[in-house]
A and B are shown apart, each in its own frame.
Chain A
Amino acid sequence: MTSIKLRAVVALFGLALVCAAQAQQAAAPKKAATQTKKAANSSPSAIAAEFEKFRDIMEDASPAELFEAKGEELWKMKRGPKNASLEQCDLGQGRGVVKGAYVRMPRYFADADQVMDAERRIVYCMVTLQGFKEADLAKKPFSSGSHTPDPVSLVTYVAANSRGMKIAVPQKHPREREAFNVGKEIFNYRAGPWDFSCDTCHGESGLRIRTQDLPNLTSKKEAIAAFQSWPGYRMTGGLMHSLQWRLNDCFRQQRFPEPGYVSETISDLMTYLGVNANGHVYKGPGIKR
């Protein structure tokens, strides 16, 4: 089991390197690079289209709904050292208002004096209202095996309550604009042993890793992909993952130091990605392969 997994990971990194090489190639002999890319792309897009069909069929039977239900239960249940529910949690639309909150985050919260994304805000509420310790929540923050951390279910529930709504990540407060600019900076920041940035894989249309198409997150048209994909139920391993996890994993794959759980870095990056996706309609938590 482990060896298979290891091999898969090695293969992925191998391909990530290919992707980097492609990106570099594109800078020099542009024509040749685009031609190879086109040839390589024809079949994976067909697979992606097939998967879209599958996603449509599974839409009303998506296992993501199980986590939505669990999140709702957790939201309303009195828990933690302070024995309180999260119904007093302000997600930016007023205390306890969940509807439409997700598509308007990250946003600036005066009480915390921070720009916070949904998961960060949920953790903030779990700490302030319920008395949980942030250090405990950060110990095992991502889904693995049969373990789904509570904030993941909660963020799935919150996200589901913005299903079918337009993304409108605010840029009114100066701190929100600052978060966008810092997020953009992080997105384009090349570093690490491979001299990678997010932009290396997500700054150009038509790139892919194996059969996975890589959305160009700098373009208005494709930026919805980041917002739409997570929280999502991943068929591989049957795990529910949030955008928090995805971004953390992107850092890991780039061989960057991993950011802290619900850190400012992630909120800033999410602000940048969210604002780029503004105007698109959010379809709610779904399925990923």
Chain B
Amino acid sequence: MADPMRIRATAKDGGINVKILMAHEMETGQRKDSAGKPIPAHFITHVSAMWQGKEVLSANWGPAIAKNPFLEFNFKGGKKGEKIQVTWTDNKGEKRTDEASIN
């Protein structure tokens, strides 16, 4: 099972500032282990953020993103108490969704 994310959403200057930490290996597939065998690629391919049923961020990711990635973005609209949902999907088809309230 994938580990939880940390999401912070704060109302700032008329918009919403969202900070997300994701727990993921982000293995590129280019590295080898101590026995010389390649370590299979395992990375997030897509991140999406939903606010009130509306997608406010959609991102295609690849192996160039670092381990345990941090993502910050702003969007307009939204107010305190409303919910943000963030979902990532990786190349093995694993998924994780977490939710946070705007404050």
Instruction: Give A contacts to B, CB under 8 Å.
Output: 1-2, 60-63, 65-66, 69-70, 73, 146, 238
Contact = CB atoms under 8 A, between A and B. Distances in A.
Contacts of A70: 3-4, 23
A63 B70 contact: yes
A112 to B, nearest CB: 30
A2 B31 CA distance: 12
> Which of the four size classes fits the interface of chain B?
10 to 19
B92 interface: no
A60 B70 CA distance: 11
Given A69-B6, A73-B4, A238-B68, A1 B23 contact: no
Contacts of B19: 60-61
Given A61-B19, A73-B4, A66 B68 contact: yes
A1 B68 contact: no
Nearest to B25: A146
11 contacts: A1-B32, A61-B19, A63-B68, A65-B21, A66-B3, A66-B23, A69-B4, A70-B4, A146-B25, A238-B66, A238-B68
Contact of B8 (A2, A60, A66): A60
A61 B70 CA distance: 7
Contacts of A66: 3-6, 21-23, 68
Main SS class of interface, A: helix
A65 B31 contact: no
A60 B34 CA distance: 34
A137 B94 CA distance: 27
A65 B6 contact: yes
Interface in B2-17: 3-6, 8
B35 to A, nearest CB: 10
Contacts of B6: 65-66, 69
Nearest to B20: A61
A70 B96 CA distance: 14
Contacts of A63: 21, 68, 70
